[in-house]
Amino acid sequence: MVVLKKIVFFAFLVGLWEIMFRLAIWNPVMFPSPFSVWETMVQGFRDGSFPVAIGVSMKRILVGYIISILIGIPLGILVGRVKLLDETVGSIILGLQTLPSICWLPLAILWFGLSEKSIIFIVIIGALFSIALATEAGVKNVPPLYLRAASTLGARGMALYIQIILPAALPSIITGMKLGWSFAWRSLMAGELLASGLGLGYVLMMGRDLADMSQVIAVMIIIALLGLLIDRLVFARLEQGIRRRWGLA
Amino acid sequence: MKVAITKVGKDFKQNGSDKIRALDEITLTIQEGDFACLLGPSGCGKSTLLNIIAGLDVPDQGTLTIDGQEITGAGPERGMVFQEAALFPWLTVRQNVEFGLKMAGIGKKERHEKALHYLQMVHLGRFTESYPHQLSGGMKQRVAIARALVMDPKILLMDEPFAALDAQTRSILHTELQEIWSKTGKTIIFVTHNVSEAVLLGNHIFVFSSRPGRIKKDFRLDFQGPRSEGDSRLLATQKQIMKVLREEIEKVAREELEQGAVPLTKTVLSSSRFGT
């Protein structure tokens, strides 16, 4: 039933788009029809340019995102547990989080040149702070009772972190990772639009340069669909699994 | 497994500089195999004392020894059951019970067997793979008891473990705890504000006064065999304890009224049921 409602809704949207196009309010170059976007999409997949672009972008985001998780979670745990770090590093993280990661691009290009590294750096910066902040919040909200109970059962030191603090903070960490993913995705696109070589952002920019709005819109749709797909396949499942286990759902 | 507490004192800070004397000159001895109850109105420091014995809190004065050994920090030889079950929600019932064994580096097979043994002792052998949220309050508290017992502690510390349960469940768990005590012969230190619970379970009852927390009087209830609620011998002791406590409860109620707090605290409510 839900699927049917969605199909009807999207058919309605595409229909509305087609009608707008037929009314010819705007120049067809500026406002392409759904059909021509579809054609571009098929063409892009057939000649391999879209799959290559998707592959390049996915590789960049995966590398950057995984690095940001590997740094962000330990950073968040440390800031959440060590008072000195909370009072010093904690405030910097909050400040950096508000800064759009694309602002780092000039520096990144200076440091790493116009290369993969620059874009991956932007992706890391984009996801890092929201993951660290959510981890920190999760760690700070671990009920003290869990820690007390664990210490009466002989847990101390690293075991306390791995067996209690990390799993207790996991729901919050997953939320942070989800947020981090969408930030990483945005940073990647911004980086690819401005910087360089292949990738979805580059194909989109090329569409602009060739005044091919069908291509621009086709790439926009691909970007949105990819984001949605990964959210559904990875994060929604992770969240659901945890909610079920903890008895929150 | 003799617990010796000598002149233990503890202050709590309130509103920055104001100090409240939570425990004052507490001296008591608990013999091996005793079921000791720490009984008193809320705010008398009985839970604080239990936390100090558990090693979760540090006294400001005095010494605590177990078999002559000074207590430094928490450890698995002192099992603790809290008022809330404090089970880890990301672990199954079995994994919760196995947690301490895992920390002690005990192998998987032995962990499994021990956990099952104690889960069966608390009648939860069929719920090993459930998650805590799937259990009722009473079942959770049973898991917590199994989790403490599986470590084979010298002493079992219980901080109002049944206070949040309904009367029916509480009564069942009283019976189970009595069975566990007679079966394992463990030393148990049990904190409660409920007089009838104390006389039903304990064989050595320490009655606390509040602000500062002191031991006002102790009662021994040494008679053999299973006890049941309403036993005339229990009621006699209960009356004596109530008499001692009455002044305390009234003092607390008066203070709370003066401070503008809600006068009907859980202490007043639950204790006045046993009034004479």
Kindly provide the ipTM of the predicted complex, given to two decimals. Answer: 0.82
Three-state secondary structure readout of A174-237 = HHHHHHHHHHHHHHHHHHHHHCCCCHHHHHHHHHHHCCCHHHHHHHHHHHHHHHHHHHHHHHHH
Residue to test with chain B: of A152, A158, A174, A244, most B Cβ within 10 A = A152
Q: Where are the domains of chain A?
A: 62-121+140-202
**CA–CA dist A94, A43 (Å, integer):** 44
| Closest by Cα among A41, A42, A67, A52 to A199 | A52
pLDDT at B274: 42
**CA–CA dist A155, B14 (Å, integer):** 31
Comparing CB atoms, the residue among A152, A159, A170 nearest residue B54 is: A152
pLDDT at B270: 45
Nearest-Cα residue of chain A relative to residue B150 = A153
pLDDT (average), residues B172-179? 88
> B16: phi > 0 → left, psi -120 to 50 → alpha, else beta; which?
left
B260 pLDDT more than 70: no
Comparing CB atoms, the residue among A153, A167, A168 nearest residue B100 is: A153
pTM for this one?
Answer: 0.81
- Which helix (H) or strand (E) segment holds residue B25: the answer is strand B18-30
Measured between CB atoms, does A246 come within 8 Å of chain B?
yes
B13 pLDDT more than 80: no
Q: Where are the domains of chain B?
A: 3-77+153-272
Residues of A in contact with B104 (CB under 8 A): 154
Across chain A, mean pLDDT equals: 90
Tens-place pLDDT, residues A197-226 = 788 888 888 888 888 889 999 999 999 999
Q: Is B96:B147 a contact under the CB 8 Å cutoff?
A: yes
Query: Which residue in the block uniquely carries the two structure tokens 């749709």?
Result: A221
* Residues A169-201: b if buried by 16+ CB within 10 A, e if exposed: bbbbbbbbbbbbbbbbbbbbbbbbbbbbebbbb
pLDDT (average), residues A120-148? 94
What is the CATH T-level fold of the domain B3-77+153-272, as seen in this structure?
Rossmann fold (3.40.50)
Tens-place pLDDT, residues B63-115 = 888 888 888 888 888 899 999 889 999 999 999 999 999 998 889 999 999 99
